[in-house]
Structure 1
Amino acid sequence: MLAGFPKQVTLQTGTSVTIRPMVKEDAEKLHAFFCRVPRENRLFLRDDVSLREVIDSWAEELDYEKVLPLVAEVDDTIVADATLHRQKFGWTSHVGKVRLVVDVDYRGKGLGMLMVKELIDTARKAGLEILVAEIMGGQASSLSALKRLGFEKEAVFYNYVKDQTGEEHDLVVMMKNLQIEPAMVPF
């Protein structure tokens, strides 16, 4: 799953970015990245990433076969985090879940699309057949980007999840069938 990394990419703005797997030594930089994400955006994340111990536990428990965390770096600063989650055994061992967080200063520049494309390519190489993305309702730009990458809305669970303040939100489940040939996606 690590073949082809690190990878150099260039954003629409001309900025050079390195995409690579997270390593244990990234904990401090990853925590700093998540602390730069606006609080209103962090409310939509599964874990309270403002807590250093959350990031430290991720770093200590790295298992690329279970969760492949990719980070994007510009000048030694992490500007995005994308993860591919999978189960090696059981009835969903052919399914992967994707998650993505992009620094505010790098949104709308193609970085999120590039990161998800890397997860799609890695999932295909790993033999996964389906990718799932779970998005809180109201995140229109995320839903639109996933749709451009071939994900389709499969279900909406109304008032199903609560953000970190306890407010209820809809959960949108989007899926991508990896057995269908990828369409050309303009950047």
Structure 2
Amino acid sequence: MRGSVLQFAKGVNSSIRLTKARRGELVVTVPIGFLKAGDRIEKDPNRRIQEAIALVFDKVAELGSARQALLWFLEQGLDLPVRYANGDVTWRRPNYATIHRMIANPIYGGAYAYGKNRSVPGYDGRSGIRRKARDEWLVLIPDAHEGYVSWERARRSARWSATMCRPAVITERRSMATLCSPAFSVVRGAVGS
């Protein structure tokens, strides 16, 4: 009896969460550059943070890749903001993953997204998290809040990122920098891999 009540309660809670998510009101966490305001998402009022994030998108568009933008940030000695779980913001040298996550995250284009990840079994009985394909997300609401770039520009950045760095069958040893370089498609075609 007790197990069925607990199962029922979990089902109701899950249904309530999904209903809230479909309205764009279930805000669990937000990345740097945004703040939770109740059940809304707002841009961080800190101008320095806003300018740094806008610069990431501008440099990716100008230079053609997340990798080239990263190299530019490192060459210029510029840091990017990072928010810790406790809410503190610090500035540190960027890495490729930081820039790639920004351009791939629909929140920066003003969209609300929920259900982007799934749990997968891992080693030693632990589970891991994997990103679902965009058509498998539970909720995606474009223009749900103010973004750093337009929804169309965010989609182009994410689409470009997915095509340039999509997983491929690699027949020879190559670095991630080679796989994500704009010249990779030419090299790959020449080698016939």
TM-score, with structure 1 as normaliser: 0.25
Task: Tell me which structure has the larger Cα radius of gyration.
Answer: 2
TM-score, with structure 2 as normaliser: 0.24
Q: Which has the higher helix share?
A: 2
